[in-house]
Amino acid sequence: MRKETILAVFLISFTLIAGYFLNNLLVQRKAKIKIFGTEYSPQDEGRVFLQLLDENFKPINNALCLISIYYPDKTEWFRNVSMFYLPGSDGLYYFDFIAPADEGVYMVSAKCFYVIEQTYDYADSYNLVKGIRISGTIENTWKDDSVYLTFRENLLSDRLEVQFEFDDVRIPANNTGMTIYWVGRWEDSHEYLKVYLYDFCNSTWLELPNRVTTNTPMVSNYLDASVYNISCFVGGGKVGVKFEDQAVVGTAEYFRVDFLDVQMHYATYGQINNIRGGGEIHVSTKKFEPSEEMPGISIIS
């Protein structure tokens, strides 16, 4: 490592073993990240969350934090999932999941970019291509409040496809990327929903890496502006997002949308700082009960 790293590791259910932190571009800053969690049994509701502080121990609330998670067999579960900032908090970012049935160690990598701001756009309409609307309106997708716009797979074909349209989306100056955020429930354990973003340059749907399953009460997909031409996904101010199941399996199940938005990220200064770390999640049928003397993981760089 380039700098001496002080590593204090305590086990609270997640054991995050930090790797290294990297500051890039014009300014080198010392920052601090604290990552917390709980050890889980299969089907437990879980949460990864971290606290991001600057060199003066002041919270950094305008960051983009991404995590990737790998199954015990080292295959990818999530790739660069954008974490949610907890409004009004002191630099807290989180991501929720349902612990999978596969027991073992789930490797996690995390990285945060700052100073980053974002715009927020909510869906204006939807087109239900396959399936049935059960209840709710498009307005129910504008707030994370457990009030749902609910669909069900078609009773005869057992298929679902719904397309959401966002109007008046603008790409800000110094754009660094965009994220599609979804919060809700998918109740078919036999299959998943693929998430797509419409590509206006090629008149096709781009499949995004992170999918909706019964283990994902929230899903996000981040597109880095250094990799993607973001303007291809905004046609005349419009953005299209699609959810589609993949198989005819079992009974018709429900897709509940609690929250859906498109965020455009942009740099507010001439430089972006970057901090990284890594660790692991433990899933087992026997849960370790942490004591109050074990405060978590603290990594200082």
CATH of residue 145: 2.60.120.260
Residues 124 and 261 in one domain: yes
* Residue in 195, 196, 201 with CA at minimum distance from that of residue 236: 201
Tens of pLDDT along 252-292? 899 999 999 999 999 886 556 766 666 666 677 754 444 44
Q: What domain range includes position 48? A: 6-115+270-300
Q: Please, are residues 177 and 224 in contact by the beta-carbon 8 Å criterion?
A: yes
pLDDT score recorded for residue 113: 87
Query: Is the domain of 124 the same as that of 102?
Result: no
- What SS3 state is found at 81? strand
Specify which residues 265 forms β-bridges with. Answer: 118, 177
Q: Is 148 helix (H, G, I), strand (E, B) or coil?
A: coil
Q: Are residues 280 and 231 in the same domain?
A: no
Q: What is the percent of the chain where pLDDT is above 70?
A: 77
What's the average model confidence in pLDDT over 17-46? 56
- Number of other residues whose CB lies within 10 A of the CB of residue 146: 12
Neighbours of 150 (CB within 10 A): 18
Query: Is pLDDT at 181 greater than 60 in this prediction?
Result: yes
Question: Do the strands 218-224 and 175-186 form a parallel or antiparallel pair, or are they unpaired?
Answer: antiparallel
Residues 196-247: tens digit of each pLDDT: 999 999 999 999 999 999 999 999 999 999 999 999 999 999 999 999 998 7
pLDDT of residue 251: 81
- Number of compact structural domains in the chain: 2
Q: Are residues 71 and 85 in the same domain?
A: yes
Residues 125 and 244 in one domain: yes
**Secondary structure element (H or E) that encloses residue 149, with its range:** strand 149-152
CA-to-CA dists, residue 79 to 71, 210, 231, 267, 287, angstroms = 12, 7, 22, 22, 26
Residues 94 and 177 in one domain: no
Residues 130 and 179 in one domain: yes
Q: What is the pLDDT of residues 120-140, one digit of tens each?
A: 999 999 999 999 999 999 999
**177 and 212 fall within a common domain:** yes
CATH number where 91 lies: 2.60.40.1930
Say how far apart CA 129 and CA 32 lie, in whole Å.
Answer: 47
Nearest residue to 1 via CA among 280, 277, 279? 277
> Which residue, chain included where needed, has tokens 């110094």?
174
In this structure, the answer to whether residues 129 and 260 fall within a common structural domain is: yes
**One domain for residues 100 and 140:** no
> In angstroms, what CA-CA distances link 255 with 88, 97, 198, 286?
30, 16, 21, 31
User: Is 1 inside a domain boundary?
Assistant: no
**Which amino acid would we find at residue 260?**
L
